[in-house]
Structure formats: C-alpha cells, structure tokens
C-alpha cells in the first residue's frame, strides 16, 4: 500500500496530527457537503483537528455519552443496551426514537449485478485490463450514497425494519472477495473513497442509508492489515457513537450475516484490539497516548457483535470465541479497580464489556478479590486482639474446621455455624485423629466428601433427575432451610479462587430437618479455589446470578430467573416434551387434555395440589390460554415451588462470595468456576508435567505415561484425584495444575505417594511397565485419608 500521496507507510510523519485522545474533547464530525478532492492522510488528519477545534459534532461524537456512566460505587450495566430479543420496526418505535431517522436522500440508479461484476473481474484477470473494475470500485466507495446505490436491493426502498437490512449480501460478498486480488491502485482507491466518505460533514442525525453504509463498510477485508488501522479505527469510532436505536438495528442486521463472515469480523476486531495493545513493532502504529480511543471504540463495536450472537438462536458462534486471550497479559486488576471506583463514568475499562474477558481472567480477578478480603478479615482479627492486649494466636488468621470422618456432615454444620464471622478467612481443615497438615489437600478432601454426602438421596435436600443426570432442589416444605445455605456457602469457600456453589443446603436427618446458619458450601469452594463435583443444570447458575449481587432490600426476591421450556428441558426433559406437545396440539385442548390451572406434586409421600393462578382449579386449559398455562407451570416448578430452598442457597453462596466480580460472569462461567471441567486431557497433562529427580526420558517416567494414557477414563479420574485431591480440571486447563512427578528413593515394593497440597506424585524407580501399572492402580484405588504431608 506504499506510494502516491496516500502514504499509509509514512504514518509516523503524521502522528503529531492524530485526533485527540479518548478522554479529551471529541473532534468534529464528518458530513455530506459537496464532494472535495481526495485528501492525503495528512490532510485527513489535519481536517479532523480543525473540525475538532471548531467544536463540531466530531468523527467520534461524544464518547462520554457512549461510555459515560455514573460516578462512585454504583457499577455499570453490562452491555444491556444491545441484548433485547424482540423485533423492532420504525412504526413501533416511540416518537423520541423515531426522531433520529429522517427520510433517506434519493439514491442514483446502479444496475450492475453480481453476475455482471464477476464477469467483469474474470475478463480483467484474463486480459489485464482493469479499467472497468477500477471505475466500479472508485465510484462505489466514494460516498455513502454510492455505497447504497451499488448494494441496496431497491435503491429508493425504505427497509425500515430490523428484519431486513435491504442489502444485497451476495453482491457485497462478491465485491469484497474479489477486492484483495485486484491491483494495488484499486485497493488504494477503495481506502481513499472510504476516507472521503467518513470526512463528509454530517447535516443531522444518521439515516437508515447511513447505517447500511456502516454495515457494508465494516465488512471490508482490507482492515486485516495494520497499514489500514487508522482508517479502520475512525470507522469503528463513528459506529461506536451511534444512538442506541441505531445500534439496535445494526445488531439485528449483523446476526443475518453468514456464520463464516460473522466470525471473520469478530476475529478482525479481536486482532485489532490485541495489536493495538501489543504491536509487533514499536513504530507499527501511532503512539497509544495519541489514540487511546481506538480500543474503547473497537470494544464497543465488538459488543454489538456479541449482542447479535446472544439474540441468535442458536448462537452463531460459541461465547468463548469472543474471549481475547491477549487480555490475560494486561493489568486486569487495574481494569477491575477502575470499574469499581469509577463505575459508569468516562473511564473505559474492559470490565464494562466482560464478554471479552476469558474465564481465566475472571477467575484471577475473583481470586485476587478473595485474597484481599481474606487479608482484610485476618488483619481485623489481629488488630482486635492487639487492641485488647490479648495473646495473638496465628490460628485466628484462618477459618479452622475440625471434623470427624464418621460425623463429617454434623461436625461441618456445627463448625461453620459457630464460626460464621470467620467465613472470609482462608479455610484450613483438620480431620480428627489424622496427622495430615492442611496445605490445601485436606481442604479438597473435605469438600469432596461433604458434597458426596450432601447430595445423597437419603438426605432429601436434592432430587436426582435420571433423565437429565443432574440434581434439582427438593420441593418439600420445612420450617428451616439453613442447610441449603450451608451448600451455597461451602461451594464458595471451596473456590477461594473459584466461586462457591454449595453454600445453602438443608440436610434431612431421619425424619427431621437440621436447621442452622449453614449456607456456605459453594461459596467457600469458589472463595478457596476448589472445584466441586456437583451436577446442577445451567439454569441453576442463572438463578444464582439473579441478581449477581445481594439486593439491599432484605425483602427483595432473589433467584427468580425467567424460565422457558428450554430451561425445563435441562431438568425434566420428559415433562418438557409433554408440555411442548400440548402447545402444538391441533385438536380440542380442553376436552382432550381436561386440564385446569392447578397442578399436583408428591411431597414426602403425600399428594398436594397448587393453583397456578387464583381460582386455577376452576379455570380449564384451552387452546387460547395454553401458553399461559405452560409458562405458569414452568415458573412454578423452577421458581415458586422451591423459592425458600433456593433463597437460602443463594444467600449462603453470596454471604461468602460477596464480590462485584460476580457481575462479570455468565452462568456457564459460574459453572466452570464451581465445578471445573470434567473433560480430561492426559496428553495435555503430560506436556505440562514437571519433574524432580527424574527426566522426561527416564524409563520410569515413560512407563508411567504409557500406563496413564492407556487407562480408562474412570482410572484417569482416580489418578487425578489421587494426585490433586479432585478429579476436575480447573479453569485454565491441565497446565494450571502444576503437576509434578518426583523420584522417591524407597524399595520398589512401595506404592506411589501423593502430596495433594502440591499436586505432586512420588514414584519409586519401578523397573517394568507391568510393575508400575500394578502399584499405581492399587494406590489410586485406595486414596482416601491422609498421612503426614
């Protein structure tokens, strides 16, 4: 792209003329004045500065209005402005939203078709005469009006709905697919035309044709090159500052793109952000201080793609593909503190757009936040002791739990109830009668055994749904639900670096319920970075984030997430199928089904009936009201019938895991933090393994991996549990385990030894593969209990 006065390669000579930084006053806007001679990049930048000084609307508009939010501790909404699923037309918009859409100007008639363009391109390739193709590109990208003339299906059609952009997508794809294969002068002419379009002075609000032009321009494949990043950045800035109604239209148009095109655009934006953060060469891009608005603009536009993906059913691409792993190498805690301290102010933070942050980053933020809370709690205890001139015992820095294996559940309940004020200290577990010192391994063992007992059907707190292979809350009524709080709390403690999920649990012993302030299991798990082997449906985690922070109003409802037939399908697939049949039934619903707005449930062996609405037992279900019946039934099963149980569970979890970082999480990410991943990749563990006393080529090590890789899945899980205290893979994968194989100089008739606190396995120097397999299988199959570590 070198040569001519366009001179993108001479960008370093223009840096002193670049637009103002993101936090300063925005530059003036571009409009639709008379066509001017094409400016050089230097003229382009100078024009921006002049218009900024003139106090116009600005190329970027007011970024304060886009990212500007409230000051103080009040935190920002997470991109909620682009998540609406309902269709929207210009006729249904309220007057204040209609206003920004003036009538579109008359567009000149262009008759070239996709086939004709492709034929022109083929002739040019064969003959070397590109004049006709050059003229097409030069004319088409010269202005927004010409872009619409070329690509709008009906030049002067209105296309005022979100359902149809009016763009000839096939023609757009053909033009862009051919562009990178054209001579360099044609590619330069397209970029010059885009600059010319962006420089035009705006004479009022954007029209729908302007939105169409942005929609087409953002698909240009030339932006993959860093030499075009200055132009790309200004395009993104103009899109970023469009109104909320404009963004709503763009979101629905973007979701109509093919999956391949959509992914390309997302990856291009992610690459743009990564390259701006960490350029390959120091002089490759303008100084960050002179264009700090680049990343906020690109991230805002990326949020439109994320919203388009969210409102698509099914999603166009996995939400994890929006993660930018480059952000794992920035100071994300500074981003988090900025978000906490400035909230919805004009201070940009990636935490305002959490879809771009990987689960690894979010886990690290929660870990750091938990550690800070632990340090704060320990410091308060220490200061309190010193101020009263009492003897300082280092145990006061920990949440010390002493339990007997034979009375694990009742002892745990008693200890957590008695030490509620210490829940935010680091957890340390002691098993009575055992010499183990808790460096992390005993804590993992405690969580594992406690979860195993809590979810046993004999306790009646949870029901195992065989069809969906998950647990759900029992609807049995009782006077106290504190054991549900225990499950929620313990989950959070368990994940001091992970969210704790099982903090609220009611435990049924014999025929009565034990009630206490024990709502902490899942919260403790997350708080202490422990992965739990529990199986809740994804909807449960959505309830746990409804709302993501505990309301100030103690009477406010919690966990009442909107439920759909798809949510019921996760838990009770057979019932969901039956309700689906009811909704699609073509016959006489009232006479054939003979249903009323009353449902029955079995509780403790007794049949009880509940009205879904007042007088429901007297209201028949008909074809006209069956949708209401199904929705009320689903809401009853997943929300109202278990409200007290889940509310206790919710408050137990949040009593330990009380962090603003929860607002950054999706339900799927909470599940990953609480449970880890059940997918084992032993080859990845082999690649990440460290060695002490052995080398990776030693015969014992080679035999070990031959045996482990040939193990069935069940034995591989037992090995992972033997070495680490959990059979779950943490967020970040096997590499995050820091797994180590050490040599121990003992007779070869000894079994392998593990140190779960350090994810370490110690192997005697076994001579044969058969001998190693036999000893290892015995060890991992009898791995409960601790000796001195």
pLDDT for 486 beyond 70:
no
Least confident of 5-9, 113-117, 367-371, 674-678: 5-9
> 410-446 in b/e burial notation, b at 16+ Cβ within 10 A?
ebbbbbbbeebebbbbbbbbbbeeeebebebbbbbbb
Instruction: Return the half-sphere exposure (C-beta side, CA atoms, 13 A cut-off) of residue 418.
Output: 10
SS3 (DSSP) at 232: helix
DSSP for 23-65?
TSPPPPP-B--S--PPPPHHHHHHHHHHHHHTT-S-SS--HHH
Most confident of 28-32, 391-395, 514-518: 391-395
Most confident of 93-107, 151-165, 305-319, 499-513: 305-319
For 732-765, write each residue's pLDDT tens digit: 788 888 899 999 999 988 999 988 778 899 999 9
Question: Does pLDDT of 694 surpass 90?
Answer: yes
- Tell me the two tokens of residue 140: 């088409």
Query: So what's the pLDDT on residue 489?
Result: 56
| Rounded alpha-carbon distances, angstroms, from residue 444 to 400, 431, 585 | 14, 12, 51
Three-class secondary structure of residue 676 per DSSP: coil
What phi and psi values does residue 600 have, to the nearest 5 degrees?
-120, 150
Closest CA to 535 of 562, 570, 559: 570
pLDDT beyond 50 at 708:
yes
Q: Looking at residue 154, what is its pLDDT?
A: 84
Specify the pairing of strand 690-692 against strand 740-743.
Answer: parallel
pLDDT score for 446? 85
The answer to whether 640 and 601 have CB atoms below 8 angstroms apart is: no
Preceding omega of 414 cis (within 30 degrees of 0): no
Residue located via tokens 């509940």: 610
Question: What is residue 573's predicted lDDT score, i.e. its pLDDT?
Answer: 95
For 194, 455, 576, the CA distances from 473, given in Å and listed in that order, are: 58, 10, 17
Task: Return the percentage of the chain with pLDDT > 70, whole number.
Answer: 78
Would you state the pLDDT for residue 667? 94
Q: By mean pLDDT, which of 239-253, 510-524, 593-607 is the weakest?
A: 510-524
Of 466 and 422, which is predicted with more confidence?
466
Higher-scoring residue by pLDDT: 526, 312: 312
Residue 387 has pLDDT above 60, yes or no: yes
Burial class (CB in 10 A: 0-12, 13-18, 19+), 548: middle
Please give the Cα distance from 118 to 73 (Å, whole number): 57
**Residue 381: its pLDDT value, please?**
76
The residue-averaged pLDDT of 287-297 equals 92
Q: Between residues 343 and 238, which one has the greater pLDDT?
A: 238
Alpha-carbon gap, residue 442 to 530, rounded angstroms: 11
**Following DSSP, what letter does each residue of 437-477 receive, concatenated?**
--SSHHHHHHHHHHHHHHTSGGG-SEEEETTTTEEEE----
Are residues 28 and 48 in contact, defined by beta-carbon separation less than 8 angstroms? yes
Q: Average pLDDT for residues 484-491, to the nearest whole number? A: 55
pLDDT of residue 504: 28
Higher pLDDT among residues 4 and 644, named by residue: 644
CA 58 to chain centre: 33
Position with higher pLDDT, 204 vs 455:
455
Mean pLDDT of the chain: 80
Chain segment 398-409, per-residue pLDDT in tens? 888 999 998 888
Q: Report, as an integer, the average pLDDT of 285-308.
A: 95
- What's the rounded Cα separation, in Å, for the pair 470 and 188? 58
How far apart, in whole angstroms, are the C-alpha atoms of residue 779 and residue 141? 70
Count of other CB atoms within 10 angstroms of residue 543:
24
> Tell me: the pLDDT tens digits for 121-150?
999 999 999 999 999 999 999 999 999 999
Structure tokens at 763: 């192997």
| pLDDT of 108 | 67
Is the separation of the CB atoms in 643 and 577 below 8 Å?
no
Token pair of 652 as six digits: 């137990």
Other beta carbons less than 10 A from residue 132's beta carbon: 13
Taking alpha carbons only, the member of 216, 200, 193, 196 closest to residue 138 is: 193
Q: Is the pLDDT of residue 479 over 70?
A: no
So which residues are the catalytic ones? Answer: 757
pLDDT attached to residue 483: 53
How crowded is residue 696: how many other Cβ atoms within 10 Å of its Cβ?
13
**pLDDT, position 19:** 37
- Range with the lowest mean pLDDT among 174-183, 285-294, 475-484, 585-594? 475-484
Count CB-CB contacts under 10 A for residue 610: 15
DSSP E strands in 356-455: the ranges are 398-403, 426-431
């Amino acid at each position: 792209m070198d040569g001519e006065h366009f001179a993108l390669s001479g960008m370093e000579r223009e840096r002193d003329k670049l637009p103002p930084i993101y936090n300063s006053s925005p530059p003036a806007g571009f409009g639709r004045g008379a066509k001017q001679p094409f400016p050089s990049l230097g003229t382009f930048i100078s024009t921006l500065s002049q218009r900024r000084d003139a106090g116009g609307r600005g190329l970027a508009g007011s970024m304060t209005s886009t990212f500007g939010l409230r000051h103080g501790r009040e935190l920002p909404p997470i991109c909620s402005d682009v998540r609406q699923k309902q269709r929207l037309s210009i006729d249904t918009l309220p007057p204040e939203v209609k206003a920004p859409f003036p009538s579109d100007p008359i567009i000149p008639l262009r008759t070239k078709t996709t086939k004709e363009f492709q034929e022109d391109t083929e002739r040019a390739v064969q003959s070397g005469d590109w004049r006709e193709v050059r003229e097409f590109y030069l004319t088409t990208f010269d202005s927004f009006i010409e872009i619409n003339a070329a690509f709008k299906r009906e030049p002067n059609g209105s296309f005022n709905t979100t359902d149809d952009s009016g763009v000839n997508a096939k023609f757009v794809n053909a033009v862009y697919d051919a562009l990178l294969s054209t001579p360099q002068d044609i590619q330069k002419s397209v970029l010059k035309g885009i600059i010319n379009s962006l420089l035009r002075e705006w004479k009022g609000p954007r029209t729908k044709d302007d939105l169409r032009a942005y929609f087409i321009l953002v698909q240009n494949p030339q932006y993959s090159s860093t030499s075009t990043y200055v132009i790309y950045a200004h395009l993104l800035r103009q899109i970023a500052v469009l109104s909320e109604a404009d963004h709503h239209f763009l979101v629905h148009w973007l979701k109509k793109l093919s999956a391949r095109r959509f992914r390309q655009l997302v990856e291009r934006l992610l690459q743009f952000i990564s390259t701006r953060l960490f350029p390959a060469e120091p002089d490759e891009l303008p100084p960050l201080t002179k264009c700090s608005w680049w990343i906020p603009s690109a991230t805002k536009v990326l949020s439109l793609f994320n919203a388009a993906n969210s409102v698509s059913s099914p999603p166009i691409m996995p939400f994890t593909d929006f993660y930018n792993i480059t952000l794992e190498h920035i100071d994300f805690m500074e981003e988090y503190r900025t978000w906490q301290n400035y909230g919805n102010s004009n201070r940009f933070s990636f935490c305002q757009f959490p879809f771009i942050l990987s689960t690894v980053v979010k886990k690290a933020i929660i870990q750091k936040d938990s550690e800070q809370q632990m340090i704060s709690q320990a410091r308060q205890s220490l200061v309190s002791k010193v101020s009263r001139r009492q003897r300082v015992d280092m145990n006061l820095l920990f949440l010390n739990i002493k339990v007997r294996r034979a009375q694990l559940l009742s002892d745990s309940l008693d200890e957590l109830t008695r030490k509620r004020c210490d829940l935010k200290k680091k957890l340390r577990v002691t098993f009575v009668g055992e010499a183990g010192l808790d460096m992390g391994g005993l804590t993992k063992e405690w969580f594992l055994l406690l979860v195993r007992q809590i979810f046993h059907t004999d306790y009646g707190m949870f029901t195992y749904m065989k069809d969906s292979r998950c647990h759900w809350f029992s609807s049995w009524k009782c006077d106290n639900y504190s054991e549900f709080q225990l499950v929620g709390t313990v989950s959070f403690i368990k994940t001091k670096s992970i969210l704790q999920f099982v903090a609220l649990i009611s435990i049924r012993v014999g025929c009565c319920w034990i009630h206490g302030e024990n709502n902490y299991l899942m919260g403790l798990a997350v708080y202490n970075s422990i992965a739990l082997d529990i199986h809740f449906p994804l909807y449960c985690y959505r309830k746990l984030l409804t709302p993501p922070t505990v309301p100030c109003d103690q009477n406010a409802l919690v966990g009442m997430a909107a439920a759909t037939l798809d949510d019921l399908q996760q838990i009770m697939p057979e019932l969901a199928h039956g309700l689906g049949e009811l909704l699609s039934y073509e016959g006489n619903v009232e006479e054939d089904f003979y249903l009323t707005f009353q449902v029955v449930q079995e509780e403790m062996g007794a049949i009880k009936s509940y009205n879904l609405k007042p007088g429901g037992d007297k209201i028949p279900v008909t074809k006209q009201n069956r949708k209401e019946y199904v929705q009320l039934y689903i809401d009853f099963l997943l929300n109202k019938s278990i409200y007290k149980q889940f509310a206790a569970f919710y408050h137990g979890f949040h009593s330990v895991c009380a962090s603003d970082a929860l607002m950054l999480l999706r339900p799927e990410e909470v599940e990953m933090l609480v449970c880890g991943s059940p997918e084992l990749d032993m080859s990845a563990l082999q690649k990440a393994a460290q060695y002490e006393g052995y080398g990776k080529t030693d015969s014992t090590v080679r035999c070990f991996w031959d045996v482990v890789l040939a193990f069935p899945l069940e034995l591989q899980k037992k090995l992972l549990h033997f070495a680490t205290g959990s059979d779950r893979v943490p967020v970040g994968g096997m590499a995050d385990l820091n797994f180590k194989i050490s040599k121990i100089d003992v007779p070869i008739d000894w079994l392998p030894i593990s140190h779960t606190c350090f994810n370490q396995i110690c192997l005697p120097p076994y001579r044969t593969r058969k001998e190693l397999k036999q000893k290892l299988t015995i060890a991992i199959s009898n791995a409960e209990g601790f000796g001195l570590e």
